[in-house]
Amino acid sequence: MEFSRNSQEESFAEEVRTWLEEHLVGEFSDLRNRGGTGQEDIPVEILLEWEKELATGGWLGLDFPEELGGRNCSLFEQVIFHQTYVESRAPGRIPNIGVTLLAPTLVAYGTNEQQERFIPEILNGSEFWCQGYSEPDAGSDLANITTRASSEGDHWVVNGQKIWTSLAQYSDWIFVLCRTSAEDTRHQGLSYLLVPMKQEEIEIRPIVQITGGSEFNEVFFNNAKTDRNLAVGEPGGGWSVAMGTLAFERGASTLGQQTSFSQELDELLQLAKQLGVIEEPVIRQKLMKIFSELQIMRYNQMRMLSSLDRGGVPGPEMSIGKLYWASWHRRLGELALNIRGASGMIGMDPTPPLENPLGHGYLLDALQRTFLYSRAHTIYAGSNQIQRNIIGERVLGLPREPRGSD
């Protein structure tokens, strides 16, 4: 299965390469080959500035209409951008939830006023968003949320707690799924609100990860306010909007992700050669297996994207891709430490010593961070267990898993 490019697509790829060469200068000049998922080797503030720089070229809104500040790219042009971006060794991107999740949700469910107010600000990089879904007792079972909002005059007043909120401490806004009806339970009576983060009634508590970083946070709402007209969809109809948001996780960017995975595997192969373990039969077999699985991942994703390009819509089969790549990357991290041997279990002693308020004085290298962070892939954006349920019930048509009353 080959995917050749025509002259117009080659020209687009060259435009991307040229733009990156011209803009990875000045404060961004030393960002190449840095900032991969979980690496935490570039300050978030710089990555936010890089997002704004990308916005100057229109690269944040690849698939959005030009009148909203986008480029109106075809699906395969989006694929080309993400692949070329990674091949150019440009820095790893910060999760820009406003672009990938909220903006397409507003296009599908928002009012004209909401679209005009928020989408241009998202695509020009001036407003950064986070997601308010998970709670301590409502993760995979999202319908169990207890955060509440009441309508008071021209405002919604929000009280409750969210958890695992990525980059909340850097965000300007949060979209919050909360309960607005005291009578309804589970999926009914939920609303999808847009809430400004810069107010005293919101408290953010970073969660220290095993890698030492704090990408995730707890967010507490204590009478936080937002305007009455900032409910997306009808009040009480937030569940369908929230599920629509999850369906908008863009498939095209995963092709760039797979290019990054390929680079990680190439680096692991070089390490195996340097350490002299490349000839060990078990290691060779594992490397060959993980290489073959990466090719399968690419072909499966291209198959699904081809279907979308022919006018299809994202469906439950997208869970196959999420389950596959998340499990694959976790296995890659495990194989990396297997190849490293005992030294992979030891943190590096920095010189000079770290002045770390979190209490640990060691450094982790890229492979160690990949091993640790890749384990989160099988949990966030729908755990592996949830993905298997979706595939079994909605793709294969198997009987539903027994559940409590909805």
pLDDT tens digits, one per residue of 114-126 = 999 999 999 999 9
Q: Which is nearest to 103 in space by CA: 116, 117, 122?
A: 122
Q: How confident is the model at residue 270 (pLDDT cuts 50, 70, 90)?
A: very high
32-85 per-position pLDDT tens digit: 888 776 667 788 899 999 999 999 999 999 988 888 888 998 888 888 898 899
The torsion defined by the Cα of 390, 395, 396 and 397, in degrees rounded to 10, comes to: 80
What are the residue boundaries of the structural domains of the chain, listed by start? Answer: 7-94, 129-236, 253-395
Q: Which of 110-114, 138-142, 315-319 has the lowest mean pLDDT?
A: 315-319
What residue has token string 């002299």? 276
Q: Output the pLDDT for position 357.
A: 42
What pLDDT was estimated at residue 83? 86
Distance CA 72, CA 55 (A): 14
Confidence of residue 400 (pLDDT cuts 50, 70, 90): confident
CATH topology assigned to domain 253-395: Butyryl-CoA Dehydrogenase, subunit A; domain 3 (1.20.140)
Judged by DSSP in three states, 84 sits in helix
pTM, rounded to two decimals: 0.83
Predicted local distance difference test score (pLDDT) of residue 345: 85
Q: What kind of architecture, by CATH, is found in domain 129-236?
A: Beta Barrel (2.40)
**What is the Cα–Cα distance from 321 to 314, expressed in whole angstroms?**
12
Residues with a known catalytic role: 249
Does the pLDDT of residue 404 top 70, yes or no? no
Average pLDDT (307-313) is: 62
Which residue intervals of 57-191 are DSSP H helices? 75-87, 97, 103-109, 112-123
| Rounded Cα distance, 260 and 250, in Å | 16
**For the chain, what is the mean pLDDT?**
86
Which of these CATH numbers, 1.10.760, 3.40.50, 1.10.540, 1.10.3470, describes 7-94? 1.10.540
Position with higher pLDDT, 51 vs 300:
51
